[in-house]
Each structure stands twice: as C-alpha cells, then as structure tokens.
Amino acid sequence: DQLKQWLESSSVSLELSKKGFHRYLVTTTVELRPSALSGASVLLLYRWPNGVFVDPYQLASLSDQSNFEILLDSAIDLEVPAHKTSGFLTYVFPSHTGSAPSFLQLTIPVHGRYHEPSFAGEAFASVHIEPPDLLLRTEKCSDLRRFDSHSVVDAPCTVKRNNPTIQISLFLIQNIVMLPVGDGSATMLVCGGTLLATMVCCVALSKYMLKHRLV
C-alpha cells in the first residue's frame, strides 16, 4: 500500500534543450513523494521513436560524468535513416546509494535521424518523444496481485538481472522535435543542376590543363 501511494503521488517531467540534429538533450526530472522512499529502487523506461537515437559510444564515454547507468534493449545503428529503422527501449538506472532520493535530474544526449524527402512541400518532420515510465521496486513487496495488471511489468532491476518491477503510467504532454527534411519535388532540379555544374567544371579544368600543358 505504501509503494502504491508513492506511485500515485510521484511525478515525471521531460524537457528538451538546445537545437539541431545532434545536439538535443533530454532532461528528465523525477519528484518522488513522500520524500522518504525507504528500500525502493527507481528505474526509468524510455520508449524512443524511430526518428531519434542515442549513441552507445557517446554514452560510454560520458559514463564517468553521468549520474545514471543505461541499458539498451537492442543494437543501435547510427547511420540508417528514420524510415529504415524502428523505435527502441532504454532502461535508465539513476546512480545513488541507499534508498531512492526524493529528487532526480538526468540528462541524456539524443540525436535526430535523417528523414525521407518530402514531396508535399514540408520543410520539417515532427518526432514525438514521450516522457519515460517511472518504475519502482522494493524488496518488501512480494504480492503484486493487488495492483492492476497494466501497472506490473517485467523489467531489469539492474543492468545484469531481471526481476518484476512496479510501474506507474504517467499521462503527460509529449515533447516534439522538429527535424529538417529535404524537398522531394526538387530532386530533378538539384540533380540536373549538380550534373551541369560538374560538366562545366570538368570542361573548364580540361581546357586549363591543355592550355598550360599540364597533361
């Protein structure tokens, strides 16, 4: 009952800062109430759309400076465009000792994927990023049948072990990332202009080399 009270009174917020394909930062603020969460562990479950990705190599390089550990549910291909990949999950474990603190703030670098060109004249593609699910677990809670079925999930309690975890589903406003896309209607114009410019440069360079006997 105490754990259920924590779940119902806690909150999660998400904020996007900075701009650009490779400079978005997702900052998650977790406020746990009441403040004394004795014996409880916190886990954040992110459900990322296919329009963004996290760089595991970057996360590894920043691990010494981060206040969390992160577990990916699948391998991340950094090069494929959005329409050739799917969304993925990350499990974020805040780094702390003892019981969970009442206030957590985590910053995760996120990168936008390239999107297909638009043939409808749209200059940007919208990517909706949902706030993470807040998962709580306590060793004292052994009977999960009193909770609604949708609020109990299987999730790793550490980066190496799997155990049942209690989840609260929070209905919050989504954050939207606007990413620029190419204009598909200009494909022929761009290709034709590029080919023409290439041919003109080749002819000019050939004439210069012949004139100065550089061949």
What pLDDT, in 10s, does the model give residues 125-179? 888 888 888 887 666 555 555 555 556 777 777 776 555 555 545 444 455 666 6
> Mean pLDDT, to the nearest integer, of 21-33?
68
pLDDT (tens digit per residue) in 66-122? 888 888 988 999 899 988 999 999 988 887 655 556 677 888 888 989 888 877 777
> Around Cβ 98, how many Cβ atoms within 10 Å?
8
- Closest among 143, 150, 169, 159 to 41, alpha carbons compared: 159
- Closest among 124, 162, 160, 165 to 144, alpha carbons compared: 165
For residue 197, name the pLDDT band (cuts at 50, 70, 90). very high
